[in-house]
């Protein structure tokens, strides 16, 4: 696989900023000047190569697949969009950047300045594009592999397209390039800064630019790692067909630590030991237990899901038999559940259980510099995923059965821009330490609450009859099924999740309040105001929900005389109720 080279040291991307060299020696100055020009030329050369590769993705893969959709699609449109995500937009972005590079670097000298080419608006666009691409990266690979397995036509197309593009690179090789590009920028900018005098007109700009790219690179690495871990969690738990995936919703940074078949041992009432095999999955926050139906065919049936909070594990030995006893307070296994295996396996499980349990402590899991950064990154990623589902739903659900649902779904598109602004502001705050999270939450939350007001109220009114409306209108039901296949749950479930989205943000705000230094009084005060706003909003919605439930209980029989009163529109009913 041909990929861009990166440093062998994983910590090098986040290494301290290089100190300015002493350029007073003429010989040193000459060497450094020569190196600086060479690094600038390498930046232009690698950018040219990168744009060429991105263009190959568009010309040999995206364009033919898109053209085929007018006649006989090679793959469905949504499959193509998932696989290639923001690739076309990334290409357009880098074409413009390359054009600027060519003007500035083609005949560069030691005095050439480049940091101003990455102006604020361009950096914001770069961050937004790469964040979306990385968040979709694991899903894109999964969808690509599934499409190859299920479609011989698509598999043949990929082979021919790869051959036309040069034959050396597969589509997977091309798709990983954007992931590798940000670390490459970091390495080149780091080298450039090491060979730039502190008196150079570009020195301060390069310092700021390098710091920004390091944070973006760290975000890219964190996002990719998290999505890879989530993908692994799904792969392992998919071995248990009836596992309730919705029980893990809202759990952040889940990863698979260990899994395998163990023998459960317990004593029944007659004191005779009964032995059965179970499939155990140890996640970073949970223990999953499933019954083994067939070990040879790997058929498992879900049994229990336990949180590891407060759990303990220890090794028990009876003669040559080694077992692990797991205790989790306030559950059905508070007195312990015992599993046996070979001594080597039991000791490995015990070690990993102890490690997973200890990492649940906030003091152990939080970074030593600022524990807020991890929770903010997780919030951004989760919110981006949520908005992506909103967009897909709007795109698919085009056929509404009646006027009420049409008004309802028309409310949703205006909810997306406040979310995107919220994500952008939060990410910008991570990059620029002079701003505070309180200011961002307070300024963006107003718009979010305004956007969610009509939605939450109308959903309260529609929730009871939504499923019936869906079932009674086949075209709408068909659109909903397509969304549900991708989402992994019913459309009603997602709509209900939307109604509680702002309430779900409150724990993050409360975490920020607890972990923001008291000396930052204004920031804490702003966060407390936001927390109170979210609390009031949630209570107001709950009050309306209770009122609606009471109204439905006491609802009079339908009036058989029609035309007596003009039925109010959904929005008129909302304004009256509010």
170 and 295 part of one domain: no
Mean pLDDT of 141-145: 88
Query: CA 53, CA 331: separation in Å to the nearest integer?
Result: 55
What pLDDT does 250 receive?
A: 62
In this structure, which long-range contacts are made by residues 301-308, counting pairs with CB atoms below 8 Å and at least 24 apart in sequence? 301/240, 301/242, 302/240, 302/242, 302/243, 302/244, 303/278, 304/332, 304/333, 305/244, 305/247, 306/331, 306/333, 308/353, 308/356, 308/357, 308/360
Give per-residue pLDDT as tens, 158-205. Answer: 999 999 998 889 999 999 999 899 999 999 999 999 999 888 999 999
Domain count, the chain: 3
Whether residue 563 is contained in a domain is answered as no
| pLDDT, greater one: 30 or 240 | 240
Clarify whether residues 488 and 506 are in a common domain: yes
pLDDT in tens, 232-251: 898 899 999 999 988 886 66
* 8 secondary structure, DSSP code: S
Give whichever of 44-48, 125-129, 132-136, 245-249 has the largest mean pLDDT.
44-48
Q: Report, as an integer, the average pLDDT of 424-442.
A: 77
CATH of the domain at 196: 1.20.900.10
Above pLDDT 90, what percent of the chain? 35
- pLDDT of 24 reads 60
Does 177 lie in the same domain as 40?
A: yes
Q: For residue 368, what are the CA distances in angstroms to 255, 294, 361, 374, 511?
A: 22, 46, 13, 11, 16
Domain identity same for 230 and 317: no
Determine the pLDDT at residue 41: 94
Is 7 a domain residue?
Answer: no
Q: Examine residue 56 and state whether it is found in any structural domain, yes or no.
A: yes
Residue at which a domain ends, from 179, 210, 237: 237
Note whether residue 21 is domain-resident: yes
State whether 388 and 525 are in the same domain: yes
Using the predicted structure, report yes or no on whether residue 8 has a pLDDT greater than 60.
Answer: no
Same domain, 356 and 370: no
**For position 249, which CATH number holds?**
2.30.29.30
- Mean pLDDT lowest among 56-60, 245-249, 359-363, 416-420: 359-363
pLDDT at 27 (0 to 100): 66
| Residue that finishes a domain, picked among 342, 360, 378 | 360
H or E element at residue 45: helix 26-57
pLDDT at 25: 63
- Interval 274-288 mean pLDDT: 89
pLDDT the model gives residue 7: 41
Q: Are residues 528 and 421 in the same domain?
A: yes
The answer, yes or no, to whether residue 81 has pLDDT greater than 50, is yes
Per-residue pLDDT band at 291 (split at 50, 70, 90): very high
In this prediction, residues 322-347 reach a mean pLDDT of 88
For residue 4, tell me if it sits in a domain: no
Is residue 418 included in any domain, yes or no? yes
Same domain, 197 and 285: no
**220, 326: one domain:** no
Specify whether 87 is located in the same domain as 146.
Answer: yes
The reply to whether 162 and 177 lie within a common domain is yes
Q: Write the pLDDT tens digit of every residue in 524-563.
A: 889 999 999 999 998 888 888 888 777 767 766 655 555 4
374-401 per-position pLDDT tens digit: 788 788 888 888 888 888 888 777 666 6
Q: What span, in angstroms and rounded, lies between the C-alpha atoms of 469 and 491? A: 12
The answer to whether position 559 is within a domain reads no
Same domain, yes or no, for 175 and 298?
no
The answer to whether residue 82 is domain-embedded is yes
Mean pLDDT of all residues in 150-157: 94
Residue 413, domain extent: 366-554+568-577
Is residue 29 scored above 60 in pLDDT? Answer: yes
Comparing CA positions, the residue from 303, 284, 306 lying closest to residue 292 is 303
In whole angstroms, give the CA distance from residue 240 to residue 238: 5
- Label residue 2 by pLDDT band (50, 70, 90): very low
Last residue of a domain, one of 200, 216, 237: 237
Average pLDDT, the chain: 82
């Amino acid at each position: 696989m041909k990929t861009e080279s990166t440093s062998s040291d994983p910590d090098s991307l986040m290494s301290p900023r290089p100190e300015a060299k002493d350029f007073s020696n003429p010989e040193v100055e000459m060497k450094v000047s020569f190196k600086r020009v060479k690094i600038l030329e390498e930046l232009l050369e690698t950018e040219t190569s990168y744009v060429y590769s991105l263009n190959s993705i568009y010309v040999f893969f995206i364009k033919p697949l898109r053209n085929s959709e007018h006649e006989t699609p090679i793959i469905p449109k949504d499959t193509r969009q998932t696989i290639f995500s923001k690739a076309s937009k990334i290409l357009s972005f880098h074409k413009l950047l390359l054009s600027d590079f060519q003007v500035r670097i083609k005949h560069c000298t030691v005095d050439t300045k480049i940091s101003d080419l990455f102006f604020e608006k361009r950096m914001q666009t770069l961050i937004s594009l790469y964040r979306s691409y990385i968040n979709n990266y694991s899903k894109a690979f999964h969808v690509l592999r599934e499409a190859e397995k299920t479609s011989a036509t698509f598999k043949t197309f990929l082979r021919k397209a790869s051959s036309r593009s040069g034959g050396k690179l597969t589509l997977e090789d091309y798709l990983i390039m954007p992931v590798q590009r940000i670390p490459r920028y970091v390495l080149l900018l780091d080298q450039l800064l090491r060979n730039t005098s502190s008196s150079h007109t570009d020195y301060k700009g390069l310092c700021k630019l390098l710091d920004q790219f390091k944070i973006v690179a760290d975000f890219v690495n964190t996002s990719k790692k998290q999505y890879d871990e989530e993908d692994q969690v799904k792969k392992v738990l998919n071995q248990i067909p009836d596992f309730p995936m919705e029980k893990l919703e809202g759990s952040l940074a889940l990863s698979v630590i260990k899994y395998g078949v163990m023998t459960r041992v317990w004593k029944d009432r007659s004191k005779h030991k009964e032995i059965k095999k179970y499939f155990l999955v140890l996640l970073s926050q949970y223990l999953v237990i499933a019954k083994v139906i067939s070990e040879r065919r790997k058929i498992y049936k879900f049994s229990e899901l336990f949180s590891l909070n407060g759990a303990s594990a220890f090794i028990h030995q009876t003669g040559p038999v080694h077992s692990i006893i797991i205790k989790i307070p306030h559950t059905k296994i508070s007195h312990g559940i015992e599993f046996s295996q070979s001594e080597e396996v039991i000791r490995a499980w015990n070690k990993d259980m102890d490690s997973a349990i200890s990492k649940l402590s906030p003091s152990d899991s939080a970074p030593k510099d600022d524990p807020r950064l991890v929770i903010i990154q997780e919030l951004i990623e989760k919110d981006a995923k949520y908005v992506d589902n909103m967009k897909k739903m709007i795109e698919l659900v085009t056929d509404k059965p009646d006027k009420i649902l049409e008004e309802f779904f028309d409310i949703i598109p205006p909810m997306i821009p406040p979310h995107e602004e919220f994500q952008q502001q939060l990410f910008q705050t991570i990059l620029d330490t002079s701003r505070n999270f309180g200011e961002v939450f307070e300024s963006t939350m107003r718009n979010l609450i305004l956007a969610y007001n009509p939605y939450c109220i109308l959903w309260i009114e529609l929730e009871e009859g939504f499923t019936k409306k869906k079932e009674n209108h086949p075209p709408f039901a068909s659109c909903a099924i397509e969304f549900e296949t991708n989402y992994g749950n019913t459309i009603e479930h997602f709509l209900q999740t939307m109604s509680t989205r702002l309430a779900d943000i409150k724990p993050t705000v409360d975490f920020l309040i607890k972990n923001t230094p008291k000396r930052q009084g204004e920031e804490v005060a702003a966060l407390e105001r936001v927390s109170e706003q979210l609390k009031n909003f949630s209570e107001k919605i709950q009050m309306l929900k209770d009122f609606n439930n009471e109204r439905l209980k006491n609802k009079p029989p339908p009036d058989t005389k029609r035309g007596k009163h003009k039925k109010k529109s959904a929005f008129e009913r909302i304004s009256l109720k509010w």
